[in-house]
Structure 1
Amino acid sequence: MSLISTASERGVTTLTLDSPANRNALSARLVGELADALTACAKDPAVRAVVLSHTGGTFSAGADLKEPPNPYTFVALLRQIVELPKPVVARVAGRVRAGGIGLVGSCDIAAASADSDFAFTEVRIGVAPAVISLPLLPRLEPRAAARYYLGGERFDAAEAARIGLVTAVADDVDTALAPVLDGLRRASPGALDATKQLLTARVRETFDRDAEDLVQRSASLFASAEAREGMTAFLERRDPAWLL
């Protein structure tokens, strides 16, 4: 059974993360299937835009600690979203954690329901939000990034909009997205591609400059003793040894 479901309506293809049993955690399999689905969208002239959605109450819980993706593969997925020649829109109606925020940050437009919440939980398991910084740091308000990266605390959808993570917040996320998708349907394919290239120039430069360093840094952190303790504590549902 696929972990990505696909549906199309009037030129908009919705790719839904469909692994609710593990809160749409970013496993090697899910990352691979999402990359394949995006490739198909890029090649299909009938697709004007892509919506990235989810089943269940969690958009994505971040990396699957039991079956994590190769960091190079995950970087390639984030870059694929940024460089897709069609707009990618995140539809968030629930919780988003860690690597899942990297997916949202890679999208061109993101709408969230008012009851959604977010957290960079990496520091709490002994690692850092290294790879997801590629799309995020060029877009986030710097002081807010420092606070939420370092503290790992939860923040709500209104705060996510204030700091530049999401575009719009509404009680009904689909109502908020309706005029956005209508606008994308009215735009020519070539103009959308050209305009997206203008908008993502700084993010693409960051990938070119920093991707290899951040992959190596992430791999080093995940191999550390603190990460082993943090991930074990998480899986065992206990506090890590460093908690004061």
Structure 2
Amino acid sequence: MLQDAVLDSSQVSLAEPDTTFGFPEVRVGGLPACVTVALRKRISDNDIRKLVTDGMPIDAREAQRIGLVDFVGDVETELSRIIFKNCKPKVTNVMYRPDCEKAWEA
């Protein structure tokens, strides 16, 4: 499965082991200008140049090595772990304004 790597809005990038990343439009004469700007947040300029120049796809392990992907493996399990870790219920205290004003005066 060949995918364009648009990762500007994600904080964590997950990939299955058989995923490939690349710019197939380069092989037919296109230039992925907007995507390369977004990629600068994740990978080096040299790696972007290589991807844009040859148009050949890279596998998930290579994408992880250059910093494009954070995790390669069972995406569903990793996503469940991230959600469990970061989305725990938080305790909030709701106070009535007159009670707060009395506390501030004291």
Q: One-letter code of the match for 2:3?
A: R
Structure 1 pair 105/121, CA: closer, same or farther in 2 (3 Å)? farther
Question: What is the aligned partner in structure 2 of residue 173 from structure 1?
Answer: 75
Query: How many residues are paired up?
Result: 90
Q: C-alpha deviations, 1:107-132, integer Å up to 9, x for none? A: 11111111111111221121211011
Structure 1 residue 185 corresponds to structure 2 residue 91: no
Runs of 4 or more off by more than 3 Å in structure 1?
Answer: none
Instruction: Give 5+ residue unaligned stretches, structure 1.
Output: 1-94, 189-244
Q: C-alpha deviations, 1:168-208, integer Å up to 9, x for none? A: 001x21112222111220386xxxxxxxxxxxxxxxxxxxx
Instruction: Give 5+ residue unaligned stretches, structure 2.
Output: 91-106
Question: Which secondary structure does the structure 1 equivalent of 2:43 belong to?
Answer: coil
Q: C-alpha deviations, 1:39-68, integer Å up to 9, x for none? A: xxxxxxxxxxxxxxxxxxxxxxxxxxxxxx
Structure 1 residue 97 corresponds to structure 2 residue 14: no
Question: What is the aligned partner in structure 2 of residue 118 from structure 1?
Answer: 21
TM superposition score normalised by structure 2: 0.72
Contact 2:2–2:57 under 8 Å retained in 1: no
Identity %: 31
Structure 1 pair 134/187, CA: closer, same or farther in 2 (3 Å)? farther
Which structure's CA Rg is the greater one? Answer: 2
Alignment of 1:30-41 (within 5 A): none
CA–CA separation in structure 2 for the residues paired with 1:149 and 1:113: 23
Structure 1 pair 151/96, CA: closer, same or farther in 2 (3 Å)? same
Contact 2:36–2:48 under 8 Å retained in 1: no
TM superposition score normalised by structure 1: 0.34
